[in-house]
Amino acid sequence: MREAIAHLRDGVTVWLNGSAEAPFVYDEKWGGMVNCGCSYNDKTMSCDNKYPNCPGLTDAGQNFGHGFYNDHHFHHGYHIYAAATVTKFDPDWGRQYFEPVLSLIRDIANPSSKDKHFPVFRHKDWFLGSSWASGIGLINGGPYPNGRNQESSSESIAAYEAMVLYGNIMYEVWGGGKGPPKP
């Protein structure tokens, strides 16, 4: 079990500490965490680009449109779930990476209208009762023909489940609701 948790820890840490070849970056224009993108080279088996050269921010086809807010709740949900699992077995790791994980959560489900860095519930439509996946990308110069879609309700539910699991485990880690230490 320790080996599995160590492997999962390594796999999620690279995304949270900024050392991934195509790291997450904060987008000031739309207020969110987006992936820099990777111009993958089959010969070198790595990205030809390095931050701040981020093709994912100009090419809606990169990383399933992540730089254009496509599927954020799906993608971020996997990272959040992994972080919750690692934190269950390594609370110190959870404390260390609390802020980066919280940034992913705030990107997809920020509940506060007072937060100046992320919009409120970016992907959740409370009136229709579903989430939207398609982001802000354009096809042939126009919006997606079918509007914002929700092609995977199971991944949406998994993302929201991941946030609940993460919240529950961090509640325990911070001592039953005391929260992170104040500076």
Instruction: Return the active site residues.
Output: 71, 151, 155
- Cα–Cα distances (Å) from 182 to 29, 100, 123, 178, in that order, read 29, 17, 30, 10
**CA torsion, points 16, 22, 24, 25, in degrees to nearest 10?**
130
**Residue at token pair 């993460």:** 166
> Which residue pairs from 44-52 have beta carbons closer than 8 angstroms and sit at least 24 positions apart in sequence?
46/21, 47/21, 47/22, 49/22, 50/21, 51/23, 51/25
Quick one: tokens of 160?
Answer: 């929201």
Q: Which residues contact 11 (CB under 8 A, 6 or more apart)?
A: 82
Preceding peptide of 52 cis, ω within 30°: yes
Beta strand extents in 4-138 (DSSP E only): 24-27, 32-35, 40-41, 46-47, 124-125, 130-131
